[in-house]
Amino acid sequence: MRLDGKTLTVSLCLLSLSAYLKAAPTSKQPTPAISTLSLTRDSISLIDPGEVLLHWTAPGDDSLVGRATGYDMRYLPESWGPINTDPEWNLAILCSGEPTPSPSGQVDSMIVADLEPGSGYYFCVRAFDDAGNYSGLSNSPLMVAAAGPPPDIMPPTLLSPPDGANISDFSPSLDWSDVSGADFYEVQVDNNSSFSSPERSSAPSVSQWTIIPDLVLGTWFWRVRAHGSPGFSNWTNPWSFAVAALPPFGPPVLLSPGNGATVYDVSPTLDWADVSDADFYQVVVDDDSDFSSLDRYSAQDSSRWTVSPELTAETWYWMVRSHGTPGFSGWSVVWHFTVSDSLPDYVPGDANGSGILNGNDVTYLLNYLRGGPPPPPPIWRADANGDCIVNGTDVSYLVNYLKGWGEPPIGSDCDPVVVGERPPAPDRTLEMH
């Protein structure tokens, strides 16, 4: 060792360099870009209109190790496109309220608010460390802000019968205003203003409903609400009316087609008895016995109607009521018939079985009813008017048709009851059933 200080100086320099190298920090890995930014599923119930709930996997401070210092979240409107480059990042709108990063690998989330409800936005997030070093750009998914509540649908306005009216109609028509956006209405009728157990109800697609079945004497309350894409409107305030007097005449008596008959005509003629002093009749036809949809209906000056438009091959129900100066009668009893899409294996009204309708059938049927030849084979081929009864009205029906005054024979597949001037012989009874 030299004592002139030179060797000592070199040794001290080397020692200082060694100490510096031991104290210097090791090189850190950069914070990685986030690639898992996405919309939180089933979040609609957790947020308000104009908000989105985002989540992603937290990166580390040193690559995937440790915890980043903070996040920077930004977004652009959908029309501006995704945030995939630094210039797009610089244009993006800054968010506020980013969460403190969790340890690497855990899930972080945040709500971005003050967006346009129902509009789309592209989002991007970057993490940074304690030295202010930013990660790369994350993926930039398109998110749609929660939409606002749908607009309310307004309740209808009740029109008639007027509130508090006295009427003599046991089956009045209720009318209310149309509601824009409504796809159907719900109407309730009850004898209690609380509507605790509605006596009549329906869901018509139009703003009118004829109450079926008939009401009884007394005070009745009714209300309506509309339904559309937002759901139901509020109920209207209830109105009331009183069925205060019996109608001046009874309902019509249905004649043909007979109850339960099968017809081979898609536009059958419905016939009922005339009602004295009636100025018109209402007739309704439906494929449901509660007449909930009123598939066919008409107002007729005469006591018959040929159904239009054509019916399909199924069972149909019908009833009639009359109208006079005091108002409507009650509805008739409900009858039904079935439209068959196959042809009968006989000619309706062909009483003698010749396959041809002419005056000979009138003579044969008339003679049979007076005790002459055997019954027509089968007996129901003589049921010209389709009412399931073979009697003198079938003779009149055939005569009117052959003279060009009436409709063609209807036909049926029921077992008619023979009503004539004599009871059927035992062997004929066997043929009838």
Q: How far apart are CA 305 and CA 288, in angstroms?
A: 20
Torsion of CA 81, 86, 92, 97, to 10 degrees: 120
For the beta carbon of residue 376, count every other beta carbon within 10 angstroms. Answer: 22
Cα 139 to Cα 30, 75, 98, 142, distances in angstroms:
18, 12, 17, 10
Please state the domain extents for the chain: 38-144, 158-243, 254-339, 359-432
Q: Shortest CA distance to 209 belongs to which of 138, 148, 293, 282?
A: 293
For residue 235, give the nearest of 153, 149, 151 by alpha carbon. Answer: 153
Alpha-carbon span 401 to 363, nearest angstrom:
14
pLDDT, one tens digit for every residue, the chain (433 residues): 443 444 333 333 333 434 443 444 444 567 788 888 887 765 555 688 889 999 999 998 776 677 889 999 999 999 998 999 999 999 999 999 999 999 988 999 999 999 998 889 999 999 998 888 899 999 999 988 887 666 678 999 999 999 988 888 889 999 999 999 899 999 999 999 889 889 999 999 999 999 988 999 899 999 999 999 878 898 999 999 998 765 566 789 998 888 988 887 788 889 999 988 888 999 999 999 888 887 888 999 999 999 999 999 999 999 999 988 767 888 899 999 999 877 556 677 777 777 677 888 888 888 888 877 666 656 667 788 877 788 888 888 888 888 888 888 876 656 555 554 333 333 333 232 2
Instruction: Please name the residues in contact with 264: beta carbons below 8 A apart, sequence gap of 6 or more.
Output: 339, 340, 342, 343, 344, 348, 410, 411
Fold match between domain 38-144 and domain 158-243? yes
Nearest alpha carbon to residue 151 among 36, 233, 80 = 233
| Residue 134 DSSP class | B
Report the distance separating Cα 401 and Cα 253, nearest Å: 22
Helix (H, G, I), strand (E, B) or coil at 209: strand
3-state secondary structure 172-186: CEEEECCCCCCCEEE
Residue 361: which H helix or E strand, with range?
Answer: helix 359-369
- Between CA 272 and CA 378 the distance in angstroms is 27
Please state which of the four CATH numbers 3.40.50.880, 3.40.1190.20, 3.40.50.2000, 2.60.40.10 is assigned to the domain occupying 38-144.
2.60.40.10
Q: Are 72 and 35 in contact (CB under 8 A)?
A: no
- Does domain 254-339 fall under CATH 2.60.40.10? My reply is yes
CA pair distance 377, 400, nearest whole angstrom: 23
212/209 Cα distance (integer angstroms) = 9
What is the pTM for the complete model shown? 0.36
Q: Phi/psi zone of residue 16: left (φ > 0), alpha (ψ -120 to 50 degrees), beta?
A: alpha
Q: Can you count the helices (H) and strands (E) in the chain? A: 5, 27
Asked if residue 241 lies in contact with residue 165, where contact means CB atoms within 8 angstroms, the answer is: yes
At the topology level, CATH places domain 158-243 in Immunoglobulin-like (2.60.40)
